[in-house]
Amino acid sequence: ISMADTGLVETLLRRVEKVDGGLDSQDVATSLGVDHQAIVGAVKSLLALGDVISAEQRSSKHWELTGEGCEIAEQGSHEARVVSSIPEEGMPQSQLMKLAFGKVGFSKAMSNKWIRLDKGHEGGPRIFKTVEHLEDLVRDKLLLVQKGQASQLEEKEKNELKKRKLLSEVTVKSYWITKGSCFSTTITKQETELTPEMIASGSWKEKKFKPYNFEALGVAPDCGHLHPLMKVRTQFRQIFLEMGFTEMPTNNFIESSFWNFDSLFQPQQHPARDQHDTFFLSDPAQAHEFPQDYLERVRKVHSEGGFGSQGYKYDWKIEEAQKNILRTHTTAVSARMLYKLAQQEKFTPVKYFSIDRVFRNETLDATHLAEFHQIEGVVADYGLTLGDLMGILHQFFNKLGITKLRFKPAYNPYTEPSMEVFSYHEGLKKWVEVGNSGMFRPEMLLPMGLPEGVTVIAWGLSLERPTMIKYGINNIRELVGHKVNLQMVYDSPVCRLDS
């Protein structure tokens, strides 16, 4: 409360103290003869102190004089002024009409019969007054309104004055002020914040504190933020770790066609190996080291068959296998890991996972980029079944909050059977594809040297798609790459996939 207002505030408080019910701020202003806005200011300062007073806003209709009305209240009505300006000997009409109030006042005074007109007077029409004393009712009524006593007038009278543009009806906002639960006529200065001195001296006990505005937002903490896609990656890693899966070393974006395709029994003429689908390298263009006997078994199974397979019966070329590419899937790493596993003296069951970048030389659109993250899970053990694959997928997707799954037969060169995983999307009210899965083909596993009875089940999905669904992003460029809006990163919530 500023010092200047203090007097008014205290006056207002004393007025409030005296009344039983409450009072209207407009009335206070009138009776104190101050501007209503000053009273409103005093009410607001008191409200900020807590429950000293309570004030309820109300609005009321109220009559006010117009500019012309004010003039009349001061100087009399036009007709009265006409009468008082005419001397005993009368006045030429033309002279009267020159006065500001002449025209209006003349006709009103005529109809009131306060004057008469002698048209035949020598020297032109002349006006004479017919009364000595008159009652200027219009002015009296306006004076009543000016004093705030408009209620003494009849509705009809007020409307008539309104028609003459002497009165207007305005809406007035005011406060109905009553005592609050902590009403007092003296005001203590309020503290804004607790200080160390107050704590030390205990003075806080005596002080009143200015209330906080809990409607306002707090100050944003000065902090860093993790990227939403990486937050989702962390959650997927967590899920795999909870399920006992070991992370594969996928930090090799450049891969030979051999590990990316040939080792997976993907034929050399397969469209995925086309220039239009895969990024090939010009430098370093070729890989130069392969496990030779394994490479020979791969060549054989492609070109001649074996391991129970007819093979593809084509001319397998080492030159195709040597071509370096940007890996098109992390399954290239799974192949390396399974080959490594097969070289162990004794087979041990494994569960592997990875989440890392893969690259496709594809046409780009709102949901496809040249690089994205692939999530992959692999289990190798004796006697695994298709039912096991579906069971493990069920558990995996359960952890993502996806409980309704169904499986569609599909084709993939390195898995047989292959299954597309669909989940029921409650929002879209339809089944949507959420991943791919299958059992690795014997033509892939047996040349590696894995034992005959070992089955390897695997599945994969992209990291971007569930993230886009989770965060409601429609264009992948709003999520990944340098064009993302950092505000999106700043504002992204924590990631709980199952809620």
With CA atoms as reference, report the closest residue to 434 among 395, 393, 392: 393
How far apart, in whole angstroms, are the C-alpha atoms of residue 108 and residue 138? Answer: 11
Question: Of these, 371, 424, 449, 469, which contacts another protein (CB under 8 A)?
Answer: 371
Nearest to another protein of 176, 294 (CB atom): 294
Q: CB of residue 472 vs another protein: minimum separation in angstroms? A: 18
For the segment 243-262, give every residue that binds another protein (CB under 8 A).
243-249, 251-256
* Strand bridging mode 454-462 / 430-440: antiparallel
How far are the Cα atoms of 145, 151, 174, 176 from residue 59, in angstroms, in the given order?
Answer: 19, 17, 6, 10
Determine the Cα–Cα distance for residues 37 and 420; give it in Å rounded to an integer: 73
Cβ proximity to another protein, 77 vs 278, nearer residue? 278
* Residue placing its CB nearer to another protein in the complex, 204 or 422: 422
Span near another protein by CB under 8 A; candidates 63-71, 166-174, 198-206, 440-448: 440-448
CB of 404 to another protein, least distance (A): 11
490 binds another protein (CB under 8 A): yes
Among 94, 149, 195, 269, binds another protein (CB under 8 A): 269
Tally the residues of the chain: 499
Site membership for another protein, residue 86 (CB under 8 A): no
Site for another protein in 446-475 (CB under 8 A): 455, 457
Segment near another protein (CB under 8 A), from 67-75, 107-115, 313-321, 396-404? 313-321
Separation CA 448–CA 293 (nearest Å): 10
Residue with tokens 């990875």: 354
Range 194-223, binding another protein (CB under 8 A): 222-223
> Segment 17-56, which members bind another protein (CB under 8 A)?
none
Rounded to an integer, what distance in angstroms lies between the CA atom of residue 322 and that of residue 203?
83
Cα–Cα distance between 225 and 296 in angstroms, integer?
50
Report the residue from 283, 319, 345, 426 that binds another protein according to the rule CB under 8 A.
283
Q: How far is CA 463 from the centre of its chain?
A: 25
Type of residue found at 472: G
Tell me whether residue 77 or residue 268 sits nearer to another protein (CB atom): 268
What's the CA gap between 224 and 419, in Å, rounded? Answer: 41
Binders of another protein: how many residues, by CB under 8 A? Answer: 101
Please, what is the minimum distance in Å from the beta carbon of residue 247 to another protein?
4
Choosing from 45, 266, 324, 331, the residue that interacts with another protein (CB under 8 A) is 324
Assess contact for 377 and 484: CB atoms under 8 A.
Answer: no
Residues 396-435: x/- map of binding to another protein (CB under 8 A)? ----------xxxxxx-x--xxxx----------------
The torsion of the CA quartet 364, 409, 260, 318, rounded to 10 degrees, works out to -120
> Would you say the C-alpha torsion 365, 371, 377, 381 has a positive or negative sign?
positive
**Shorter beta-carbon distance to another protein: residue 25 or 418:** 418
Give the footprint of another protein on residues 340-369 (CB under 8 A).
349-351, 357, 359, 361, 369
Q: State the Cα–Cα distance between residues 353 and 244, nearest whole angstrom.
A: 10
Q: Considering only the C-alpha atoms of the chain, give the largest distance between any 2 of them, rounded to a whole number of Å.
A: 146
State in angstroms the smallest separation of the CB of 345 from another protein: 18
Confirm or reject binding of residue 295 to another protein (CB under 8 A): no
Structure tokens that stand for 87 in this block: 């001397």
Exposure of 152 in the CB half-sphere (CA atoms within 13 A): 10
- H or E segment to which residue 135 belongs: none
- Interacting residue with another protein among 164, 237, 300, 399 (CB under 8 A): 237
Report the residue from 97, 226, 318, 366 that binds another protein according to the rule CB under 8 A: 226
Any idea which residue has 């370093």 for tokens?
284
| 62 contacts another protein (rule: CB under 8 A) | no
- Please select the residue that binds another protein; options are 1, 134, 230, 469, rule is CB under 8 A: 230
- Could you tell me the CA-to-CA distances from 158 to 73, 173, 479 in Å, in that order? 15, 21, 69
Report, in Å, the least distance between residue 4 CB and another protein: 39
Nearer to another protein, 7 or 349 (CB): 349
Beta carbon nearer to another protein, 58 or 404 = 404
